[in-house]
Amino acid sequence: MLARPALRFRRASERELTRPSRLAMQRGLLVAILCPFIAIVSLFHLVPFLWSLYLSFHRWAGVGVPRWVGLENFAQIVKDATIRAAFLNSALFILVLVPVLTALSLACAMLLNQALLPMRGVLRVLIFLPYLTPAIIAAVIFSILFNERFGHVNGMLQLIGIPPIDWLKTPTGARAVVALTGIWQVLGYTTLITLGGLQTLPQDLYEAAAIDGANAWQRFWSITLPLLSPTLAVVSVIVLLFVLNLFLPYFLFPATSGYGPERSTVTVSVVQYVYAFANRRYGEAAAVGCAVGFVGFLLALLQIRIWRLSRGWMA
113 burial type by CB count under 10 A (0-12 exposed, 13-18 middle, 19+ buried): middle
Rounded CA-CA distance 61/220 in Å is 56
Q: Which is nearer to another protein, 175 or 270 (CB)?
A: 270
Per rule CB under 8 A, count of chain residues that contact another protein: 111
CB atoms within 10 A of CB 213: 7
Contact pick of 61, 200, 208, 308 for another protein (by CB under 8 A):
200
User: HEC string of 277-291?
Assistant: HCCCCHHHHHHHHHH
Binding to another protein, residues 252-281 (CB under 8 A): 254-255, 268-269, 272-273, 276-277
Binding to another protein, residues 11-30 (CB under 8 A): 11-12, 15-17, 22, 25-26, 29-30
Nearest CA to 68 among 85, 54, 50? 54
**Which stretch in 10-18, 76-84, 95-103, 303-311 sits in contact with another protein by CB under 8 A?**
10-18
Q: Which residues are registered as beta bridge partners of 67?
A: 59
* Residue 156 makes contact with another protein by CB under 8 A: yes
Binding to another protein, residues 159-188 (CB under 8 A): 184, 187-188
* Residue 299 makes contact with another protein by CB under 8 A: no
Binding to another protein, residues 57-96 (CB under 8 A): none
Going from the C-alpha of 85 to that of each of 33, 161, 233, 270, 307, the distances in angstroms are 46, 35, 28, 11, 29
Q: Which is nearer to another protein, 173 or 251 (CB)?
A: 251
Q: Which amino acid is at 15?
A: R
- Residue window 234-253: x/- pattern of binding to another protein, with contact defined by CB under 8 A: x------x--xx-x---x--
